């Protein structure tokens, strides 16, 4: 049977855009059950959890495609290699785990030379060295178009320190680990310069003054420091998720998993001065960047109210709201209430 015949015999066709990223995952994994006792957590969280005896093994997979997740016109391969590691391991961090190993699979078209792939691997090796991660294997195959990168991340966590998305309780405080929206504005700056310099024989964009937002997009941090600080303070969050699809989308994901609502206070959510300045320059809204931008690779976690002072003690964390029984609301500085919505929650945006 030819490919065209396969599409023609379908009695009903549902466009993927109708479901969106998360709806598609729910649809495809409906009815999936774990047959092995060692499979503690399957689909539906940041990482799978496998019982490995005295500890839990954490496993997650990330797939990045050229033209969808990155544009090599302005994304240096070394930075891309570094970011790939952070993107994959952020899911391990979100389970309160420690990254340990990764495997890397590449689909490579003929336009890439060996030297290009060596540059990509330089970034991978740099991130692995910085965060004590072992590159333990992978695969490389030919691709018709562009570059595709698949990463399997492996980590571990003590059984009494595992954190899932599903543990948030009413009145828990909602905490985030840094300012949001900077990566999104860094991407838009690069996109603007790519369009402006298209066809120029010697493009030489001036990025002075924008180093912060560019770094947040090109070379994000893996928040292993937060995991270590939580352990040092004896804190096990009631729930946690990494902010990769935007604050709004990931807050809604946490609510869905925990069966709760959320109340966020706009004036408490940090936005860097550089992010606001870039938004003004591009005639964009920094609040939209913060809520829906994504690629921040920060952590959002919840703790009981009585842990507020303990959490704030180690610094770098902002309390931006609390968990409610139902609903998702963004409270403005004037006291107005807006429904928290996220385009990415229904249909995943371009990263």
Predicted pLDDT at 46: 79
Predicted pLDDT at 348: 37
Burial of residue 102, with CB atoms counted within 10 A of its CB: 0-12 exposed, 13-18 middle, 19 or more buried: buried
Predicted pLDDT at 345: 44
Q: How many CB atoms within 10 Å of residue 126? A: 16
Interatomic CA distance for residues 178 and 296, integer angstroms: 9
Predicted pLDDT at 26: 67
Helix (H, G, I), strand (E, B) or coil at 337: strand
Helix and strand tally (H, E) in the chain?
A: 12, 13
Predicted pLDDT at 36: 78
Predicted pLDDT at 350: 36
pTM: 0.89
State how far the alpha carbon of 114 is from the alpha carbons of 107, 120, 128, in Å. 13, 10, 21
- Ordered structural domains, the chain, with CATH: 37-161 (3.30.1330.10), 165-196+210-346 (3.90.650.10)
pLDDT in tens, the chain (351 residues): 565 666 665 667 777 677 666 666 667 766 667 767 877 776 767 789 999 999 999 999 999 999 989 999 899 999 999 999 999 999 999 999 999 999 999 999 999 999 999 999 999 999 999 999 999 999 999 998 899 999 999 999 999 999 999 999 999 999 999 999 999 999 999 999 888 877 666 667 778 889 999 999 999 999 999 999 999 999 999 999 999 999 999 999 999 999 999 999 999 999 999 999 999 999 999 999 999 999 999 999 999 999 998 888 878 899 999 999 999 999 999 999 999 987 754 433 333
Interatomic CA distance for residues 61 and 82, integer angstroms: 16
Interatomic CA distance for residues 268 and 321, integer angstroms: 8
Interatomic CA distance for residues 178 and 132, integer angstroms: 23
Q: Is the Cβ–Cβ distance between 163 and 301 less than 8 Å?
A: yes
CA 34 from centre of chain: 26
Predicted pLDDT at 208: 85
């Amino acid at each position: 049977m030819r490919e065209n015949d396969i599409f023609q015999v379908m009695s009903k066709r549902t466009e993927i855009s109708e479901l969106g990223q998360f709806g598609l995952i729910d649809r495809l994994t409906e009815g999936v059950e774990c047959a092995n006792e060692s499979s503690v957590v399957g689909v539906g969280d940041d990482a799978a959890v496998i019982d490995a005896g005295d500890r839990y093994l954490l496993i997650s997979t990330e797939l990045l495609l050229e033209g969808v997740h990155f544009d090599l016109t302005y994304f240096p391969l070394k930075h891309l290699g570094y970011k790939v590691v952070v993107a994959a391991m952020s899911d391990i961090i979100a389970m309160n785990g420690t990254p340990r190993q990764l495997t890397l699979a590449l689909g490579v078209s003929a336009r890439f030379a060996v030297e290009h792939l060596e540059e990509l691997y330089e970034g991978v090796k740099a991130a692995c060295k910085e965060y004590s991660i072992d590159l333990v294997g992978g695969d490389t195959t030919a691709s018709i178009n562009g570059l595709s990168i698949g990463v399997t991340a492996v980590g571990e966590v003590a059984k009494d320190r595992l954190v899932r998305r599903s543990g948030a309780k009413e009145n828990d405080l909602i905490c985030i680990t840094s300012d949001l929206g900077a990566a999104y504005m860094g991407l838009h700056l690069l996109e603007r310069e790519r369009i402006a310099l298209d066809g120029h024989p010697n493009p030489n964009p001036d990025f002075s003054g924008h180093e912060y937002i560019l770094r947040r997009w090109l070379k994000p941090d893996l928040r292993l420091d937060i995991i270590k600080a939580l352990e040092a303070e004896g804190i096990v969050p009631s729930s946690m998720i990494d902010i990769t699809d935007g604050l709004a989308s990931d807050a809604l994901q946490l609510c869905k998993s925990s069966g709760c609502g959320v109340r966020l206070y706009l004036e408490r959510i940090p936005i860097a001065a550089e992010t606001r300045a870039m938004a003004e320059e591009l005639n964009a809204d920094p609040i939209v960047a913060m809520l829906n931008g994504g690629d921040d690779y920060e952590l959002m976690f919840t703790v009981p109210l009585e842990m507020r002072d303990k959490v704030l003690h180690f610094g770098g964390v902002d309390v931006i709201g609390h968990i409610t029984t139902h609903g998702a609301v963004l409270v403005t500085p004037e006291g107005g209430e807006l429904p928290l919505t996220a385009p990415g929650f229904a249909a995943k945006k371009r990263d």
